[in-house]
Amino acid sequence: MLACLCTVLWHLPAVPALNRTGDLGPGPSIQKTYDLTRYLEHQLRSLAGTYLNYLGPPFNEPDFNPPRLGAETLPRATVDLEVWRSLNDKLRLTQNYEAYSHLLCYLRGLNRQAATAELRRSLAHFCTSLQGLLGSIAGVMAALGYPLPQPLPGTEPTWTPGPAHSDFLQKMDDFWLLKELQTWLWRSAKDFNRLKKKMQPPAAAVTVHLGAHGF
Amino acid sequence: MALSEVFQTTFFLTLLSLRTYQSEVLAEHLPLTPVSLNVSSNSAHQSLHLQWTVQNLLYHQELKMVFQIQISRIETSNVIWVGNYSTTVKWNQVLHWSWESELPLECATHFVRIKSAVDDARFHEPNFWSNWSSWEEVNVQDSLGQDILFVFPKDKLVEEGANVTICYVSRNIQNNVSCYWEGKQIYGEQLDPHVSVFHLSSVPFIRKTGADVYCEVSQGSVSKGIKGIVLFVSKVLEEPKDFSCETQDFKTLHCTWDPGVDTALGWSKQPSQSYTLFESFSGEKKLCTHKNWCNWQITQDSQETYNLTLIAENYLRKRSVNILFNLTHRVYPMNPFSVNFENVNATNAKMTWKVHSMKKDFTYLCQIELYGEGKMMQYNVSIKVNGEYFLSELEPATEYMAQVRCADASHFRKWSQWSGQNFTTLEAAPSEAPDVWRNVNSEPGSHIVTLFWKPLSKWHAKGKILFYNVVVENLDKLSRPELHSVPAPAKITKLTLDQRSYRIWVTASNSVGTSPASVIVISADPENQEVEEERIADTEGGFSLSWKPQPGDVVGYVVDWCDHPQYTLCDLQWKNVGPNATSTVISTDAFRPGVRYNFRIYGLSTKRIACLLEKKTGYSQELAPSDNPHVLVDKLTSHSFTLSWKYYSTESQPGFIQGYHVYLKSKARQCHPRFEKAILSDGSECCKYKIDNPEEKALIVDNLKPKSFYEFFVTPFTSAGEGPNATFTKVTTPDEHSSMLIYILLPMFFCFLLIMIVCYLKSQWIKETCYPDIPDPYKSSILSLIKFKEKPHLTIMNVSDCIPDAIEVVSKPEGTKIQFRKSLTETELTKPNYLYLLPTEKNYSGPGPFICFENLTYNQAASDSGSCGHVPVPLKLPPSQLGLMISPENVQKALEKNYMNSLGEISAGETSLNYVSQLALPMSGDKDSLPTNPVEPPHCSEYKRQMAVPLCLASPSPTENTSLSSITLLNPGEHYH
């Protein structure tokens, strides 16, 4: 996993957009965010396998796909395609930012109750990476001039281990947390790729622009 | 007054008896009924909690009562449990009792009722049960909520092996519910249309995060939801094993145990089992923070006996072990420290150490172990605080390791850990003379003495040997002894001594002193090598050697041999044997199979002179010969041939050669006499002849058939077998008649040779008889005179200068004898060839008529120059030779010398046909210019006829070079080149 991150970071300077000097606009940070999203997707595949095995059957069964009962507080990544396309960049980025803020909090709760040290290490590593993604999204939003969403008082997600929540439901929540995280990362990768393409100035326009300067 | 006291007493007694009677009557006649029965449920523990009071109890009355409780499920008539509960009941007391249900309470409605009876010994009357209380209903389902499915019990914690009952409550009976346990569907029994029950028996431990039981609600094929529980199965808490406590300082008790399996479960369902120490005499308790050890502080010096209980506990079980001990019997001392050695010399040392202070009057028993020289010595000593021990009988120059451990001398329980240190004793002088042997090689005028000695053992060296001293003393001549100092670790030195007697002392020295000397005497007489060598065989344990005792006084015998006789450095070994012994066994791991070992046995006289007594040779194990002899076949006749292998070395074989096997194959089925039939390894048959003498290295194979094919193979054999397999050599006997032909042809050849010799010796006579000489007119002196006058400047005619244009037939005498020159192929092409027909008169010295053919036609250089081949080239001779050739005499001489042999004799007068060149002959009388003038290459001329010309026309022209031709005498076939 570390090797993968190193590879991604090594190739980051190779991205042409990132090698530009001066005011480069949001392009480099979007690319960086996209790369980090893809890396987190890869990292999550390994982590989810380990964690679901830790939970045991039926959660580690490949065809286990329960209807979503409980876990209502998790931000849903699934959204209608038309609705999704109709969203503007600001709204999309805001949704991403809010979703990962929530997911990160739940993930930290997951880390606290993990029984094995190895699992705790993996979860902590993933949390750190996810924290980095949040920072990247914030950077993109800042570059595009969008304000960061402010959490409403009282809506701060908290992880509450409680007897009120049955252990089975807790396991189910963990299952859904990982599933939502996977879907969100997939969706974010699409979002950032779309944004990246959108932010790339067309080559012809650059030429005309330079020509105008020449005259 | 007294009357009043009596009255009062009587009144009280009456009152008391009345009271007692009243209570008895009440107990007997007023039913003590349980009332106010209240039943509550605890879902987490799956238990019903009952509380009630007993009616009709008197104030402060205590009665032993028994309560019978009935529990029904679903309906009152379905009693699932009946049991009694006995207790002492007080007035106005609220009684509590719990019952745990194996079925989750949410799965069914439960009903409880109770009745009671007095069970007190003070009542002799038979007990009467009260009436049953009314049924109390417990229905938890109503409080579940509106979900479509519920699974119970929620997240239950059980021990491994427990039986668990699980149920689900489905709100809609139309829904299809499937339940799974660890991924496998389970099937249960239906309690009612909404409730089903599953029994899991003897559940195993699966994982710390619990095993999931879940049920899926579906309508048709549409899943409506999943509900489940986590069944946490804990491992059974084990009793701590090997619980023991000990002290090292009388301040702390260190208790240890083996905790067994960890019963911790994930999700904080159950932590690891806890351990608690409890001491019953003091009543103190301590919760241990480690799972396998705990320290108990000793606070009271006076307490000697301890009763410690270790309690292991988890949510499901409690286990404990107990030990009772006297503190003084549980002492495990700390390691000794400051181990040192004082006054270390070659054989002694004093060892000192310290121990930690304990209680007053505490005595340690200490054990010392001394390791050195592969041995271990053990000593015990009792000490208080500081320990010391005198180590004696040590070996000099030896490294020792000494270690010490201690225990309680009064109540031995356990040794402490070892504390140790190394030390080395000092050196001492070597105690024994080195074992010396010698090898003497006699050379003319000197003895080359090689001295060998074995390194002193560590036992005798008593230190590091630095060098060996070799002192050589001449016994025949008074002279100062010579000292040779050989640095260790050399084991050999070579001395060149003259042929006198010498005494040699060898000593070994270390840093402290010198060993006793080993003496050996080299006799002036050469060593007796004429001792017959005897063959010996190896026995199981080695070579067993025996010898005849040496006459006279001997101080011992020495047997020497080489461990590796096949190498130049053969590693000489020797063994000293006592003077009374006449045999010994030489045994060493160095002996290898197939190697010949030579043993020499010497007797050592009292003068320390070694005398060679016997020689033995043998193999530790004989092997089959490693190679076969190279066999030569000679004296091949039609009936016999001889096989010989005289160069085959029998000494270098890996066994004593006992003889040879000669295998012979032939087409004949019968073997020859002396041969016997044998089967080869490939299964083929052949004849075999055995030669028992290893030195007999030839065999005549006779009685063979002429012109027959035979194959033979010779292989030596030892006691271990024959030599390697090899191919047979083929021999074919010659035809019988061919020899007869030789007998006829040889005499004929000799006869012919004889005739030829006779002919040669009588050739002059034969010539004169058969072919008398014909007189040669040209050799007539008259003719010479005439010609001399006509042509005073007779020169050598160059035939090439002749241009034949006509043929003139002069005469054709019979008996013309012309000897042709050598063929062109026989001539030397690199030089111009001159052919001269010279006068026969040997004494002719002046210019005279003769014919000279200069053959320039076949000049290699000319042909190479691009001309067409008939190009005469200038005569190129070395100047010296050229100068000689200028004068006619010299020319003639040279020509005679060089060419006469090839030409033979030819007479000008005998020429019957003269060929005349058709070209004009440039005439020149300048004989000097002929061989020296260069000749220009002609133009291309394919062919020039060559003709014989009369001598009168044969006049060379050295200046004419434009058209040259040659005159030669040609064979019919020699026209073209």
Q: What pLDDT is attached to residue B909? A: 38
Its CATH class, for the domain covering B145-234, is: mainly beta
What does the alpha-carbon distance between residue B516 and residue B688 come to, in Å, rounded to a whole number?
Answer: 65
For residues B101 and B925, which has the higher predicted lDDT (pLDDT)? B101
Rounded to 5 degrees, what are φ and ψ at B554?
-125, 150
> Does residue A94 contact residue A149 with C-beta atoms inside 8 Å?
yes
Chain A: nearest CA to B227, how far in angstroms? 8
Q: Looking at the predicted structure, is the pLDDT value of residue B634 above 70?
A: yes
Q: What pLDDT is attached to residue B286? A: 94
CA nearest to B642, candidates B716, B708, B692, B704: B704
What does the alpha-carbon distance between residue B429 and residue B512 come to, in Å, rounded to a whole number?
Answer: 5
For residues B103 and B928, which has the higher predicted lDDT (pLDDT)? B103
Q: What pLDDT is attached to residue B30? A: 61
Is A194 inside any structural domain? yes
Helix or strand holding residue B15 (H, E): helix B2-29
- Are A58 and B230 an interchain contact pair (Cβ–Cβ within 8 Å)? no
Q: What pLDDT is attached to residue B852? A: 39
Tens-place pLDDT, residues A17-38: 444 444 556 777 888 899 999 9
The gap from C-alpha A165 to its chain's centroid, in whole angstroms, comes to 27
Does residue A66 belong to the interface with chain B, where contact is any CB pair within 8 Å?
A: yes
Q: Looking at the predicted structure, is the pLDDT value of residue B936 above 70?
A: no
- % of chain B residues with pLDDT over 70: 75
Tokens of B892: 């003639």
- Are B212 and A172 an interchain contact pair (Cβ–Cβ within 8 Å)? no
Query: What is the CATH code for B30-142?
Result: 2.60.40.10
CA nearest to B391, candidates B353, B427, B351: B351
- Are A56 and B207 an interchain contact pair (Cβ–Cβ within 8 Å)? yes
Tens-place pLDDT, residues B252-261: 999 999 999 9
Measure Cα distances from A131 to A121, A189, B402, B617, B927 in Å: 15, 16, 62, 91, 126
Q: What pLDDT is attached to residue B367? A: 95
B contact residues 252-281, partner A, Cβ 8 Å cutoff: 266-269
- Are B210 and A170 an interchain contact pair (Cβ–Cβ within 8 Å)? no
Rounded to 5 degrees, what are φ and ψ at B55?
-85, 155
Nearest to B212 among A56, A67, A113 (CB): A56
Which of A142-156, B617-631, B819-833 is predicted with the least confidence, judged by mean pLDDT?
A: B819-833
Ranges of beta strands (E only) in chain A are: none
- Are B210 and A54 an interchain contact pair (Cβ–Cβ within 8 Å)? no
Q: Looking at the predicted structure, is the pLDDT value of residue B842 above 70?
A: no
Mean pLDDT of chain B: 78
Rounded average pLDDT over A103-131: 85
> Does residue B70 contact residue B80 with C-beta atoms inside 8 Å?
no
Is A161 inside any structural domain? yes
Q: What pLDDT is attached to residue B797? A: 55
Tens-place pLDDT, residues B37-79: 899 988 888 899 999 988 877 777 788 889 999 999 989 999 9
What does the alpha-carbon distance between residue A100 and residue A108 come to, in Å, rounded to a whole number?
Answer: 12
Judge if B337-425 and B632-733 fold alike in CATH terms: yes
For residues A198 and B110, which has the higher predicted lDDT (pLDDT)? B110
> Does residue B188 contact residue B196 with C-beta atoms inside 8 Å?
yes
DSSP string, B799-853: GGG---EEEEE----TT----PPPPGGGS-TTS-EEEEE--S-TT--S----EEE
Measure Cα distances from B854 to B823, B871, B934 in Å: 15, 12, 14
Q: What pLDDT is attached to residue B338? A: 94
A67 interaction partners in chain B (CB closer than 8 Å): 223-226
Ranges of beta strands (E only) in B394-466 are: 399-408, 419-424, 436-443, 446-453
Q: What pLDDT is attached to residue B48? A: 92
Interacting residues of B352 by C-beta distance below 8 A, sequence separation 6+? B338, B339, B340, B341, B342, B386, B387, B388
- The correct answer on CATH 2.60.40.10 for the domain covering B632-733 is yes
Is A17 inside any structural domain? no
Tokens of B612: 């060679």
What does the alpha-carbon distance between residue B42 and residue B105 come to, in Å, rounded to a whole number?
Answer: 8
Q: Return the residue of B nearest to A109 by Cα.
A: B267
- % of chain B residues with pLDDT over 90: 36
Q: Looking at the predicted structure, is the pLDDT value of residue A145 above 50?
A: yes
For residues B225 and B786, which has the higher predicted lDDT (pLDDT)? B225
Interface contacts (A, B; CB < 8 Å): 66
For the whole model, what pTM was predicted? Answer: 0.54
The whole domain housing A75 covers 26-199
Q: Return the residue of A nearest to B265 by Cα.
A: A115
Does residue B206 belong to the interface with chain A, where contact is any CB pair within 8 Å?
A: yes
Any idea what the CATH number is for the domain that residue A135 is in? 1.20.1250.10
Most B-contacting residue of A63, A113, A168 (CB-CB within 10 A), to test interface: A168
C-alpha dihedral, B490 to B491 to B493 to B499, nearest 10°:
170
Nearest to B228 among A61, A161, A168 (CB): A168
Nearest to A55 among B151, B209, B232 (CB): B209
Q: What pLDDT is attached to residue A70? A: 56
Q: What pLDDT is attached to residue A152? A: 54
Q: Provide the residue type at A77 as one letter.
A: A
> Does residue B699 contact residue B682 with C-beta atoms inside 8 Å?
no
- Per the structure, the count of domains in chain A is 1
Does residue B97 belong to the interface with chain A, where contact is any CB pair within 8 Å?
A: no
Which of A179-193, B354-368, B839-853 is predicted with the least confidence, judged by mean pLDDT?
A: B839-853
For residues B785 and B441, which has the higher predicted lDDT (pLDDT)? B441
The b/e string for B258-289 (b: 16+ C-beta within 10 A; e otherwise) is ebbeebbbbbebbeebebbbbbeeeeeebebe
Does residue B208 belong to the interface with chain A, where contact is any CB pair within 8 Å?
A: yes
Q: What pLDDT is attached to residue B824? A: 40
Q: What pLDDT is attached to residue B255? A: 95
Nearest to A113 among B216, B229, B267 (CB): B267
Rounded average pLDDT over B576-603: 89
Rounded average pLDDT over B163-185: 89
What does the alpha-carbon distance between residue A105 and residue B686 come to, in Å, rounded to a whole number?
Answer: 99
Most A-contacting residue of B156, B214, B221 (CB-CB within 10 A), to test interface: B214
- Are A168 and B230 an interchain contact pair (Cβ–Cβ within 8 Å)? yes
**Residue B203's beta-bridge partner residues?**
none
Does residue B207 belong to the interface with chain A, where contact is any CB pair within 8 Å?
A: yes
Q: What pLDDT is attached to residue B820? A: 41
What is the interface pTM, i.e. ipTM, of the complex?
A: 0.70
Residue B136: count other Cβ atoms within 10 Å of its Cβ: 18
CA nearest to B575, candidates B564, B559, B556: B559
Is A93 inside any structural domain? yes
Fold that domain B337-425 belongs to in CATH: Immunoglobulin-like (2.60.40)
The model's confidence at residue B810, banded by pLDDT at 50, 70 and 90, is low
Mean pLDDT of chain A: 75
Does residue B144 belong to the interface with chain A, where contact is any CB pair within 8 Å?
A: no
Nearest to A115 among B155, B211, B266 (CB): B266
Sign of CA dihedral B690, B692, B698, B703: negative
- Are B155 and A172 an interchain contact pair (Cβ–Cβ within 8 Å)? no
What does the alpha-carbon distance between residue B468 and residue B492 come to, in Å, rounded to a whole number?
Answer: 10
Rounded average pLDDT over B785-806: 56
CA nearest to B896, candidates B956, B958, B852, B948: B852
Tens-place pLDDT, residues B325-370: 999 899 999 999 999 999 999 999 999 999 988 877 889 999 999 9
Does residue A170 belong to the interface with chain B, where contact is any CB pair within 8 Å?
A: yes
Chain A: nearest CA to B316, how far in angstroms? 19
Does residue A201 belong to the interface with chain B, where contact is any CB pair within 8 Å?
A: no
Burial class (CB in 10 A: 0-12, 13-18, 19+), B730: exposed
> Does residue B857 contact residue B869 with C-beta atoms inside 8 Å?
yes
Most A-contacting residue of B146, B149, B155, B218 (CB-CB within 10 A), to test interface: B155
Region label for B242, one of left (φ > 0), alpha (ψ between -120 and 50) or beta (otherwise): left
Q: Looking at the predicted structure, is the pLDDT value of residue B24 above 60?
A: no
Q: What pLDDT is attached to residue A157? A: 54
CA nearest to B469, candidates B527, B508, B519, B520: B508
What does the alpha-carbon distance between residue A195 and residue A88 come to, in Å, rounded to a whole number?
Answer: 10
The gap from C-alpha B947 to its chain's centroid, in whole angstroms, comes to 92
For residues B494 and B525, which has the higher predicted lDDT (pLDDT)? B494
Does residue B212 belong to the interface with chain A, where contact is any CB pair within 8 Å?
A: yes
> Does residue A35 contact residue A200 with C-beta atoms inside 8 Å?
no
Q: What pLDDT is attached to residue B472? A: 93
Q: What pLDDT is attached to residue B486? A: 93
Is A170 inside any structural domain? yes
Q: Report, at the CATH architecture level, how domain B436-619 is classified.
A: Sandwich (2.60)
Residue found under tokens 């026969």: B840
Q: Looking at the predicted structure, is the pLDDT value of residue B539 above 50?
A: yes
Is A210 inside any structural domain? no
Q: Return the residue of A nearest to B218 by Cα.
A: A67
Q: What pLDDT is attached to residue B788? A: 55
Q: What pLDDT is attached to residue B536? A: 87
Rounded average pLDDT over B435-454: 89
Which of A178-192, B268-282, B791-805 is predicted with the least confidence, judged by mean pLDDT?
A: B791-805
Interacting residues of B722 by C-beta distance below 8 A, sequence separation 6+? B624, B625, B661, B715, B716
Q: What pLDDT is attached to residue B222? A: 82
Using alpha carbons only, give the angle B197, B203, B205 rounded to the nearest 5 degrees.
Answer: 140
Does residue A55 belong to the interface with chain B, where contact is any CB pair within 8 Å?
A: yes
Per DSSP, the three-state class of B495 is: strand
- Are B229 and A113 an interchain contact pair (Cβ–Cβ within 8 Å)? no
Per DSSP, the three-state class of B269 is: coil
- Are A56 and B226 an interchain contact pair (Cβ–Cβ within 8 Å)? no
The b/e string for B69-106 (b: 16+ C-beta within 10 A; e otherwise) is bbbbbeeeeeeeeeeebebebeeeeebebebebebbbb
What does the alpha-carbon distance between residue B977 and residue B974 come to, in Å, rounded to a whole number?
Answer: 7
Tens-place pLDDT, residues B503-521: 999 999 999 999 999 999 9
The model's confidence at residue B15, banded by pLDDT at 50, 70 and 90, is very low
Q: Looking at the predicted structure, is the pLDDT value of residue B882 above 60?
A: no
All structural domains of chain B with their residue ranges: 30-142, 145-234, 241-330, 337-425, 436-619, 632-733
- Are B267 and A66 an interchain contact pair (Cβ–Cβ within 8 Å)? no
> Does residue B921 contact residue B803 with C-beta atoms inside 8 Å?
yes
Q: What pLDDT is attached to residue A126? A: 92
Is A156 inside any structural domain? yes
The model's confidence at residue B2, banded by pLDDT at 50, 70 and 90, is very low
Q: What pLDDT is attached to residue B782? A: 64
Q: What pLDDT is attached to residue B793? A: 55
**Residue B534's beta-bridge partner residues?**
B616
Tens-place pLDDT, residues B279-310: 999 899 999 999 999 999 988 667 889 999 99
> Does residue B469 contact residue B478 with C-beta atoms inside 8 Å?
no
The model's confidence at residue B808, banded by pLDDT at 50, 70 and 90, is low
Tens-place pLDDT, residues A62-74: 888 887 765 566 7
The model's confidence at residue A154, banded by pLDDT at 50, 70 and 90, is low
Residue B526: count other Cβ atoms within 10 Å of its Cβ: 12
Its CATH class, for the domain covering B241-330, is: mainly beta
Ranges of beta strands (E only) in B475-609 are: 482-487, 492-498, 502-509, 518-522, 533-539, 542-546, 554-562, 572-577, 583-586, 596-605
